[in-house]
A and B are shown apart, each in its own frame.
Chain A
Amino acid sequence: MLELKNITKKFGDQTVLAGVDVTIADQKTLAIVGPSGAGKTTLLRIIAGLTPADSGEMIWNGKATTAAKMRQAGLIGVVFQGFELFPNLTVRRNLTLAPTLQGATQAAATAQADQLLAELDLSAQADAYPFSLSGGQKQRVAIARALALKPQILLYDEPTSALDPNLRQSVADLINSVKAQGMTQVVVTHDMDFAQAVADETLTVAKLGGGEA
């Protein structure tokens, strides 16, 4: 279980998060919802270690930690809103790059990548470059790339916003299928219907203020 306590964040004079508490239960999906500008993505970035909080605590399984430590331990995976696939690498290499650089053999990383791609119905795209994929395919590659490092918690930033609206249900199915494999997930979204389709719990972040889990 990951707990964040009393997280605050200001950008200049503007308070974005004023003492937010978050509890992320194991193997559940937490949706962080709220209006535009409320700081949902900022909160996600703080959990991912991409934006430092001004103050607050982070507790992982009862022990104080930091986002940087969580990341270094490979506990956190992120699926970005814009996917951020590496355009110069094939789909398969997008998945194997980090594992091989972190000690996995090429053969093991490739076998794992091919398995993930098969599970996500992307086997035919393994040797393609990201530019040739559809938005939905790019997102599945982004999820597969994050899963290749076997994180404990997977974070999604607005997973539906860069996609065709009629793909919303398939994204929800995908997130639910990842949860069924035992993954703890955090989904930032402005789309309440989507949040209901994927979330076990919902955290509403109010604009210019605190929130409650």
Chain B
Amino acid sequence: MDYVISILPALLSGVQMTLAVFAITLLGAIPLGMIVAVGLLYRGKNPLAVAGKGLLDGYIWLFRGTPLLLQLIFVFYGLPLVHIVFDRFSAVIFTFILNYAAYFAEIYRGGFGAIEEGQFEAASVLNLTRWQTLRYVVIPQVLKVVLPSMGNEVINLVKDSSLVYVIGLGDLLRAGEVATARDVTLVPLVLVALLYLIMTLVLTLLQRRVEKAFSYYK
């Protein structure tokens, strides 16, 4: 027990990094994913719209089609070659937000597809603008539809945050590995697992609460 207490401060400091990456990524990726998804909804035929849509499709393909670990390495070690330099934490946040926004955009896109055309038509005959239709009618319904899938991704994000070790940041998993290597025992990694389980349990409960909050209509 004394040993557990002795390594806990280092692990909890790792938890701080994990939670910081988690929270800032969500704050950036949830709205960015929605912006991308709304952009993909646009069916304009003018060259600018077609090019914009191609760009968004390309972005999603790139970030869903390559490992997050690789993206992190490219951003931190590769971009400086073209004079774009991030500090470690900014590189993590930049990469995580772009990566998760790509996944969220695809989830939202599925959500938009689940909204019946009649809802858009009803809004249109009521003379709502496109933005008003999205803001008051469609997006609230999309958010309800995508909650279960978003919950999965959010839990993945907690675990993905352990990838920050690759560019030398200390998160929970790294703190555990350091203690394990130093003290030659698996106890720190068991504690790490427990801390991840606690975090994902809290998120699962939170997800249920949010789903319940959205259950006022069907």
Q: Residues on A close to B: CB < 8 A? A: 48-50, 71-72, 74, 76-78, 80, 82, 84-89, 97-98, 101-102, 129-131, 145-146, 149
Q: State the majority secondary structure of interface residues on B.
A: helix
Listed from nearest, the 6 A-B pairs whose CB atoms lie closest are A84-B122, A98-B126, A131-B218, A129-B217, A84-B118, A78-B125
Per the bound structure, the CA–CA distance linking A71 and B125 in Å amounts to 7
Instruction: Give chain A nearest CB distance to B215 CB in angstroms.
Output: 11
Q: Residues on B close to A: CB < 8 A? A: 116, 118-119, 121-129, 132, 136-137, 140-141, 144, 216-218
Query: Is the Cβ of B126 less than 8 Å from the Cβ of A82?
Result: no
Query: Is the Cβ of A50 less than 8 Å from the Cβ of B217?
Result: no
Query: Is the Cβ of A149 less than 8 Å from the Cβ of B217?
Result: no
Query: Is the Cβ of B122 less than 8 Å from the Cβ of A102?
Result: no
Per the bound structure, the CA–CA distance linking A77 and B122 in Å amounts to 10
Query: Can you name the residue of chain A whose Cβ is closest to the Cβ of B125?
Result: A78
Query: Is the Cβ of B137 less than 8 Å from the Cβ of A80?
Result: no
**Which chain B positions have C-beta within 8 A of A85?**
122
Instruction: Give chain A nearest CB distance to B17 CB in angstroms.
Output: 38
Instruction: Give chain A nearest CB distance to B170 CB in angstroms.
Output: 43
Per the bound structure, the CA–CA distance linking A129 and B218 in Å amounts to 8
Within the complex, which residue of B119, B127, B132 is in contact with A72, where a contact is CB–CB below 8 Å?
A: B127
Indicate whether A88 sits within 8 Å of B144 (C-beta atoms), given known contacts A82-B118, A131-B217: yes
Per the bound structure, the CA–CA distance linking A102 and B121 in Å amounts to 17
Per the bound structure, the CA–CA distance linking A80 and B125 in Å amounts to 10
Per the bound structure, the CA–CA distance linking A131 and B132 in Å amounts to 22
Query: Is the Cβ of A87 less than 8 Å from the Cβ of B121?
Result: no
Within the complex, which residue of A84, A87, A89 is in contact with B218, where a contact is CB–CB below 8 Å?
A: A87
Query: Is the Cβ of A71 less than 8 Å from the Cβ of B127?
Result: yes
Query: Is the Cβ of A101 less than 8 Å from the Cβ of B122?
Result: no
